[in-house]
Amino acid sequence: MNRLIYLDNAATTFPKPASVLKKMIETYTRIGVSPGRGSYDLAAEAGELVSKTRQKVAHFFGAPDPDRVIFTANATDALNIALQGLLRPGDHVVSTRLEHNSVLRPLYHLRRNGIIEYDLIPFDGKGFVDPEDIVAAIRPNTKLVILSHVSNVLGTVQPVKEIGYRCAEHKVPLLIDAAQSAGIIPVDMQSWQVAGLAFTGHKSMLAPTGIGGLVLNRQIESIEPSRFGGTGIDSGNLIHTEAFPYRLEAGTLNLLGIIGLSESLDFIGEMGMESIHTGEMELLNRLRDGLSLLDGIELYCAENLFNHVGLLTANVRGMDPNDVGAILDADFGIAVRVGLHCAPLVHESLGTSPYGSVRFSIGPFNTGDDIDRTLAAMAGIARHKRRG
Amino acid sequence: MNGSAAPEQKTGDLQQKLCVIAGREILIDNEGFLWRVEDWTEEVAEALASECGIDKLDDVQWTVVRFLRNYFSYHGRAPMNRDLKAGLGISLMDLEALFPGGIRRGARRVAGLPNPRSCT
């Protein structure tokens, strides 16, 4: 069989850039000590690398203060820190039916425990949320609006800039889940008036798994830590420090991951984010156009690929998407993601519950040949199914 | 399968219910997968196959079921996609067509393997 065609880049990009992996090993071999903790120069050097990476991340997202770049394990971790740190009894939250479980489950947990209430705004037939619907759901006790910048099922880029302005008018902070957008769609937190952003390194940011972050604008002041411990500063005090970023970071940082993130940001800078996006969208258009010509294939919210990233959701009529994924893997050497994609409400709205769909997600290293082979495979599967 | 006899009970995100299958009370989940692998018998397989719309399992289908049972028994897990293809010597596309419910809800369910719970 030919090499694996990897089309599960929305789960995690693979492979990672070889230069990023090489630099990770080189740097970690040289300064892989506890960053910022200890009186020796190497610890200071590692600490400096962490600080510089915070600066890079802040600059990347248009955030004003590198000290408000909090390193986390991933976007889910960042979202939990934000939601548990910001919400208080009696608060109301506005979110959407597009969300991943990384938002839905923490919200549901808080509601089930009688702490908050929330409303989930539906999306339209093209996969977009209307900012006016968000505004209409804001109540006097609304403490937060939270939504995905990009749907992990549909690939649609939500109008975050407009939602940010509208939230600011109502003095409600906007937190965005940038898991699927970070590294492929530009974000400018300050000008868009985004109060907070959760990202993960291992998707379009092309860093390894295990590193992500929560980036806060200065308007977020009253966020409480939900975990406590060593920070490397103010160690004589039993009260966890309030200074950012340590307020929300406890324990030794993932230095190897931070090195990877630093290097991957440089890689993206060299490649050009727009150029990566353009390349992926060319392939996505080719995939969409090919799939739409096949009998027996259903596509979801894919008529118009403007404001989109390189992922597409489909089904083969009459087939369990789990089986389609298994066939693509074993018979054709193509890796895709099947099922509900941890976003059950999207599938409920699409009518694809409980089995979900097949998601094709393109990365910077996919080629036209990958798409052509995928189209041939899908044509074969659909034809086979029609013959029964 | 002859209807449910006991109230549903939530266990994680799957639900258990007690059903009479091939004359025996057997726990299944909400998708009709056996809760306990050891409840499987050839009679249960025929009953589950009948649920899928198969009158009687033929030799090829029995080969698939026995392969899945043996693999699971030896390895303690279902075969990976490539093992399934290599072990059966047929494409998964052909395997999917052999059972009206397909691979997961057809072959795997009839073989009495647990419902795969990887993130869906």
The answer to whether B65 contacts chain A (CB < 8 Å) is: no
Residue with the bigger pLDDT between B31 and B72: it is B72
In this prediction, residues A315-320 reach a mean pLDDT of 96
Asked if A356 and B105 come within 8 Å (Cβ–Cβ), the reply is: no
Chain B: nearest CA to A58, how far in angstroms? 32
In whole numbers, what is the pLDDT of chain B averaged over residues? Answer: 88
Q: What percent of chain B has a predicted confidence (pLDDT) above 70? A: 86
Q: How confident is the model at residue B14 (pLDDT cuts 50, 70, 90)?
A: low
Please tell me the distance from the alpha carbon of residue B26 to that of residue B20, in angstroms, as a whole number: 6
Say if residue B2's pLDDT is above 60. no
Q: How confident is the model at residue B13 (pLDDT cuts 50, 70, 90)?
A: low
Q: How confident is the model at residue B4 (pLDDT cuts 50, 70, 90)?
A: very low
Q: What percent of chain A has a predicted confidence (pLDDT) above 70? A: 100
Asked if B93 and A329 come within 8 Å (Cβ–Cβ), the reply is: no
Say if residue B12's pLDDT is above 50. no
Say if residue B11's pLDDT is above 50. no
Say if residue B5's pLDDT is above 60. no
Q: How many CB atoms lie within 10 A of CB B39?
A: 16
Best B33, B81, B83, B92 member to test A by mutation, with max A CBs in 10 Å, is: B92
Q: In this predicted structure, what is the pLDDT of residue A219?
A: 86
pLDDT digits (tens, 9 = 90+) for A89-100: 999 999 999 999
What torsion, rounded to 10 degrees, do the Cα atoms A199, A203, A209, A213 define? -10
Q: Give me the total of CB pairs closer than 8 Å, taking one residue from chain A and one from chain B.
A: 55
Report chain B residues whose CB lies below 8 A from the CB of A339.
118-120
In this prediction, residues A163-192 reach a mean pLDDT of 97
In this prediction, residues A212-225 reach a mean pLDDT of 94
Asked if A320 and B116 come within 8 Å (Cβ–Cβ), the reply is: no
In this prediction, residues A310-319 reach a mean pLDDT of 97
Give the nearest partner residue to A339 out of B84, B92, B119, using CB atoms: B119
Lowest mean pLDDT among A164-178, A198-212, B8-22: B8-22
pLDDT digits (tens, 9 = 90+) for A99-117: 999 999 999 999 999 999 9
pLDDT digits (tens, 9 = 90+) for B96-117: 999 999 999 999 999 999 998 7
CA end-to-end span of chain A: 26
Say if residue B28's pLDDT is above 80. yes
The answer to whether B103 contacts chain A (CB < 8 Å) is: yes
Say if residue B1's pLDDT is above 80. no
Q: In this predicted structure, what is the pLDDT of residue A233?
A: 85
Q: How confident is the model at residue A375 (pLDDT cuts 50, 70, 90)?
A: very high
Chain B: nearest CA to A84, how far in angstroms? 23
Q: What percent of chain A has a predicted confidence (pLDDT) above 90? A: 94
Q: What are phi and psi of B103, to 5 degrees?
A: -80, -55
pLDDT digits (tens, 9 = 90+) for A37-74: 888 999 999 999 999 999 999 999 999 999 999 999 99
Residue with the bigger pLDDT between B7 and A314: it is A314
Give the nearest partner residue to A331 out of B92, B104, B105, using CB atoms: B92
Q: Considering the entire predicted model, what is its pTM?
A: 0.94
Q: How confident is the model at residue A303 (pLDDT cuts 50, 70, 90)?
A: very high
In whole numbers, what is the pLDDT of chain A averaged over residues? Answer: 96
